[in-house]
Amino acid sequence: MQTMTASPMMFPVHSYEYREFPAGTDQSSAYIPLPDVQIRTSGGLSIPAHASILASVSPVLENMLDRPRKRRSSEKIIPILGVPCESVKAFVRFLYSSRCSDEDMVNYGMHLLALSHVFSVPQLKQRCTRTLCARLTVDNVVDVLQLARLCDAPDLHLKCMKFLSNEFKAVEQTEGWKFLQDHDPWLELEILQFLDEVDSRQKRRSRKREEQNLYVELSEAMECLEHICTEGCTIVGPYDKEPPTKNRGPCNKFTTCQGLQLLIRHFAGCGKRVNGGCRRCKRMWQLLRLHSSICDQPDFCKVPLCRQFKLRTQLEKKGDDARWRLLVRRVMSAKAMYSLSLSKRKREEGPREAIHANPPRTRSFTTL
């Protein structure tokens, strides 16, 4: 097979020949060592290089160059096979200059990642990882995932898995996925397990969000109950005050208050009082009990049955069950978090309102 030699123009010219220096320069420093090693590619291309430069960048190449040769006069040859010749050129250019063009990254990013892993060049590996993460598509994600697994690139591996979880229906139709199913069942199982974990995590997050919303709604209901029984709202008010007027405006939480007022009116006039009443009455009993569990001033509280529920809980030896205590803690936590967020919002809006109310005065000048 005929061996071709790469043109020196592919690499820094000063790496192969001496340069003419200005007058007065020490001529002994003008001579640059000639290439002393050849890099052989799969296509028969031979790339001249310097052993000292290769060894300083890659510890793997350093070990290869330090191996004893069969003949002292034999030429040092480093085979880099299995990848396109142009990718090997780009790899050698990076070893000399620590730079790689965007065109080379686009055309040979996967090959350069493999070379950077095999020859232990971390800077090039990081560059390839970033480029491949930014250029993932439905058609190449399976191939990039397999390469990331072989080249020990965890960031790229995770990026591919997340891309698969978002575009799995489209990836299933590609040839790369079908090839993976036929030749790498373990990786297929790993992907399916990851997708199942992502789905389970999303369901848990959604369930937790729904539970948190429920605790926030119960916390608002407790505040509205105190507000109705202390100050009164549109249609329901405390017994020791005059009934609310029709012209009274709604409160800040009118949606919650309105539903709670309708529930209180139903609770007061419901005829089904056997076994705790109807379903709506039982809900009202639970709200009153929940308020009693949260209230810390039952002797002065105006919410009905607050003190009675407190005494009943104290008289019963076993007290509330674990689930009820957990509900009380969650509602109190939601109430505290809401109070903190409200106070923070007021602090942030205070300076803004002050600025709008008292805008800075501009100095005026009079002409004489």
How large a percentage of the chain has pLDDT more than 90? 40
- Which of 110, 131, 152 corresponds to the end of one domain? 131
Residue 17 has pLDDT above 50, yes or no: no
CATH number at residue 116: 3.30.710.10
pLDDT tens-place string over residues 64-106 = 888 776 666 567 889 999 999 999 999 999 999 999 999 999 9
Please state which of the ranges 14-18, 111-115, 154-158, 203-207 shows the lowest mean pLDDT.
14-18
The 3-state DSSP class for residue 16 equals coil
**Residue 175: pLDDT band by 50, 70, 90 thresholds?**
very high
Mean pLDDT across 36-45: 89
- Same domain? For 96 and 214 the reply is no
Alpha helices in the chain (DSSP H): 51-57, 59-66, 85-97, 102-118, 122-134, 141-150, 154-166, 168-171, 175-183, 185-230, 254-269, 279-294, 306-315, 322-357
Residue 340 has pLDDT above 50, yes or no: yes
- Same domain? For 215 and 337 the reply is yes
Residue 263 has pLDDT above 70, yes or no: yes
Residue 5 has pLDDT above 80, yes or no: no
DSSP letter for each residue of 93-130: HHHHHS---HHHHHHHHHHHHHHHHHTT-HHHHHHHHH
Q: Find the distance separating the first CA and the last CA of the chain, reported in whole Å.
A: 98
- Same domain? For 106 and 227 the reply is no
Is residue 353, in this structure, part of any structural domain at all?
no
Q: Which domain holds residue 339?
A: 210-239+251-346
CATH number at residue 283: 1.20.1020.10
Is residue 176, in this structure, part of any structural domain at all?
no
What pLDDT shows up at residue 334? 81
What pLDDT shows up at residue 6? 52
- Which of 131, 153, 187 corresponds to the end of one domain? 131
Q: Please give the model's pTM, rounded to 2 decimal places.
A: 0.62
Residue 286 has pLDDT above 70, yes or no: yes
Instruction: Compute the residue count for the chain.
Output: 368
Is residue 173, in this structure, part of any structural domain at all?
no
What pLDDT shows up at residue 317? 57
Mean pLDDT across 264-276: 73
Residue 108 has pLDDT above 70, yes or no: yes
- Same domain? For 216 and 318 the reply is yes
Rounded distance, CA 88 to CA 111, Å? 9
Q: List residues bridging with 46 in a β-sheet.
A: 5, 40
Rounded distance, CA 325 to CA 118, Å? 59
**Residue 294: pLDDT band by 50, 70, 90 thresholds?**
confident
What pLDDT shows up at residue 276? 60
Residue 367 has pLDDT above 50, yes or no: no
pLDDT tens-place string over residues 316-327 = 755 557 888 888
Sign of the CA dihedral with 182 first, then 184, 188, and 189 last: positive
Counted domains in the chain = 2
Is residue 333, in this structure, part of any structural domain at all?
yes
What pLDDT shows up at residue 275? 57
What pLDDT shows up at residue 58? 93
Is residue 171, in this structure, part of any structural domain at all?
no
Is residue 152, in this structure, part of any structural domain at all?
no
What pLDDT shows up at residue 233? 78
Tell me the average pLDDT of the chain. 79
